[in-house]
């Protein structure tokens, strides 16, 4: 299922404080970088996860090689990897974070079996969506042509 109510998505974004972003890039033009940066600027603690950049610093946090290297509690795991890479990431997340609330798979990323495994552990799952886009949409930050999205009076 990739049809989520606005109320559900808003609840997920409001209750989340710490996000582990798996597959984050150090390249500022890559979506994984600017989504993670945006989330950090919105007050979330973003823990970057990428084995190729482990030990470097990004968004005030040390990049971790894997989820299992994170010692602090994590509310959400945001996955920037291909769909076929999702099951071991979900398994590791479920093992590493007993109080995990959400698995979020980015646009184009879906894995129903991994989602079912997470849901069986009472973890909410969002697939094929971007938390940055949803945050902007749900909290009124999307802009088009200089105007905030929404109804614009025809009496201008």
Query: Distance (Å, rounded) from C-alpha 124 to C-alpha 8?
Result: 10
What percent of the chain has a predicted confidence (pLDDT) above 90?
87
Please state the φ and ψ torsions of residue 65, each to the nearest 5 degrees: -75, -30
DSSP 84: G
DSSP 63: P
Q: Residue 124 is part of a domain; what is its CATH number?
A: 3.40.50.720
Q: Is residue 122 part of a domain?
A: yes
**Model-level pTM?**
0.89
pLDDT band for position 44 (50/70/90)?
A: very high
Task: Please tell me the predicted confidence (pLDDT) of residue 150.
Answer: 43
Angle (CA) 116-105-146 rounded to 5° is 145
Number of domains in the chain: 1
Query: Distance (Å, rounded) from C-alpha 143 to C-alpha 84?
Result: 34
* Residues spanned by the domain of 130: 6-148
Q: Is residue 1 part of a domain?
A: no
Task: Please tell me the predicted confidence (pLDDT) of residue 140.
Answer: 80
Element (H, E) at 155: none
Over residues 13-23, the mean pLDDT reads: 98
Task: Please tell me the predicted confidence (pLDDT) of residue 1.
Answer: 58
């Amino acid at each position: 299922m990739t049809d989520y109510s606005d109320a559900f998505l808003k609840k997920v974004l409001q209750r989340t404080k710490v996000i582990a972003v798996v597959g984050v890039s150090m390249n500022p033009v890559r979506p994984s970088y600017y989504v993670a940066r945006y989330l950090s600027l919105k007050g979330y603690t973003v823990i970057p996860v990428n084995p190729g950049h482990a030990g470097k610093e990004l968004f005030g946090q040390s990049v971790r090689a894997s989820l299992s290297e994170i010692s602090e509690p994590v509310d959400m795991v945001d996955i920037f990897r291909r769909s076929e890479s999702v099951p071991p990431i979900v398994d590791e997340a479920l093992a590493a974070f007993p109080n995990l609330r959400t698995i979020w798979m980015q646009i184009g990323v879906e894995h129903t079996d991994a989602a079912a495994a997470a849901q069986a552990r009472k973890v909410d799952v969002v697939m094929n969506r971007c938390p940055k886009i949803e945050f902007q949409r749900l909290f009124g930050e999307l802009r088009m042509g200089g105007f905030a999205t929404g109804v614009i009076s025809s009496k201008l």
